Chain A
Amino acid sequence: MHELSLCESLLEIIEEQARVHHYRRVRTVWLEVGRFAGVECDALRFSFEIVVCESLANGAKLEIIDIPGCGWCFDCGAEVLLEDCFEICPRCGGTVQITSGKEFRLKELEVE
């Protein structure tokens, strides 16, 4: 539901960076989206197209880089891969603290 405002923030960064890196057009946007970032990628693509349509990123392609969920087990200290954010440790059944998968970053742009 909040993907539209996330795209507005994304466009703000793109416009701000245009002044720093001197580009006039954006062709591709690479976003890192963590598994637990709370971002719905379909809604994000839909919103992105609407938000950028009158900007320097009009028609830009949105590439989403999936960041897997990782965690650290409180009980056995293992670093584990997580499918769901409420998963228990696959090794010992302990409680896991999420260490990655919440990322939502603008990584790179292809610009002209």
Chain B
Amino acid sequence: MCNVCGCGQDAMAIGTHPNEHVPHQHDHEQHPEACEEHGHHHGTEPQQGRERDAGHHDYGATPARAHAPGLSQARMVRIERDILSKNQALATENRRYFAARGIFALNLLSSPGAGKTTLLVRTIAALGGQFPMAVIEGDQQTTEDADRIRQAGVAALQINTGKGCHLDAHMAGRAARSLGLQRQSLLFIENVGNLVCPASFDLGEAHKVVILSVTEGDNKPLKYPDMFQVAEVLLLNKVDLLPYVDFNVEHASAAARRLNPGIEILPVSTTRGDGMEQWIAWLFQRRADFLHRLSAKTAIGR
């Protein structure tokens, strides 16, 4: 296939409309404007290109297979940029902001209804104001979750993403700054309930925490691997319901470890309180490690 204009006999068609493919002339004479402008024609106008693409999925390789090197008025520009580089840059900025203030931020990920907000309410009660805390709530609609957190006595900011399926570093950064966080705060960022997209967007957090409830099924780690690969800890929630559901803790744990050998797994019940001690211990340990790393860095900086 020609990778300059995308034409060619060996273009692969996948999908439901293979017959819609309309082969176009390969004579470089379908581009009158380009001819006037540059004295050379190449390939097809975008309009025609769109028509051709409507029923056609092309999978090209590299421009090295161009059939007309140097003859087109078009030129190649090498970019080599990660699409998420902007989000990454903002996440790095957030991370710097948190580090400068000793703020330990956690990004909580799960599908809707796995128990993120209940976990937070219970965690806030268990920590009992030992250090300043704040919560950023991400949901498509409503301020219900932020209201629940405020009732628990902690500052909360609700982000409604509208149609968005995840929080990004820009939203999280703005929210964190407008919360007016105290130094050495513990910041929980409750992401939009979604087991897919939030895994791709770094928010600048210290750790990602994934919550899987036993009612969702033990096959979820393998079905939605991204989330389990990026998290440092997996909370297996609703273990109080284990007698009533077909969920094999060993299977789920083995699957999560297969994806992410270093993942820590803590069975909890945010309603009954099982495993909360281990979770709180994990929080303390990781926060202490984070603050220790910061002070070590500052010492080197001096």
Contact = CB atoms under 8 A, between A and B. Distances in A.
A110 B76 contact: yes
Contact of B58 (A12, A63, A111): A63
B59 A64 contact: yes
A8 B46 CA distance: 20
B63 interface: yes
Interface in B63-87: 63, 73-87
A1 B75 CA distance: 33
A29 B268 CA distance: 47
A59 interface: yes
Interface string B219-231: 0001001100100
Nearest to B82: A105
B63 A108 contact: yes
B61 interface: yes
Interface string B19-50: 00000000000000000000000010111011
B266 to A, nearest CB: 21
A contact face: mostly helix, strand, loop, or mixed? mixed
Interface in B246-292: 255, 257-259, 261
A106 interface: yes
Nearest to A63: B60
Nearest to B34: A112
Interface in A1-56: 1-2, 5-6, 9-10, 12-13, 17, 21, 23, 27-28, 30-31, 36, 38, 42, 45, 49
Contact of A13 (B45, B73, B83): B83
Main secondary structure of the interface of B (DSSP, over half): mixed
Interface stretch (B99-107, B111-119, B152-160, B164-172): B164-172
A45 B3 CA distance: 17
B222 A108 contact: no
B77 A30 contact: no
A13 B58 CA distance: 23
B63 A110 contact: yes
B6 interface: yes
B209 interface: no
Contacts of B81: 13, 17, 105-106
Given A63-B3, A86-B259, A109 B82 contact: no
B196 interface: yes
Interface residues of A, number: 45
Contacts of B83: 6, 9-10, 13, 31, 104-106
B200 interface: yes
Contact of A45 (B46, B47, B57, B63): B57
B229 A85 contact: yes
Interface of A: 1-2, 5-6, 9-10, 12-13, 17, 21, 23, 27-28, 30-31, 36, 38, 42, 45, 49, 58-61, 63-66, 74, 85-86, 88, 95, 97-98, 103-112
Interface of B: 3-4, 6, 43, 45-47, 49-50, 53, 57-63, 73-87, 164-166, 168, 194, 196-197, 199-201, 222, 225-226, 229, 255, 257-259, 261
Of all A-B residue pairs in the complex, the 6 with the closest CB atoms, nearest first, are A59-B46, A2-B197, A63-B60, A1-B165, A109-B77, A21-B77
Given A2-B165, A9-B86, A111-B76, 6 more contacts: A13-B79, A17-B79, A27-B46, A38-B197, A59-B47, A109-B76
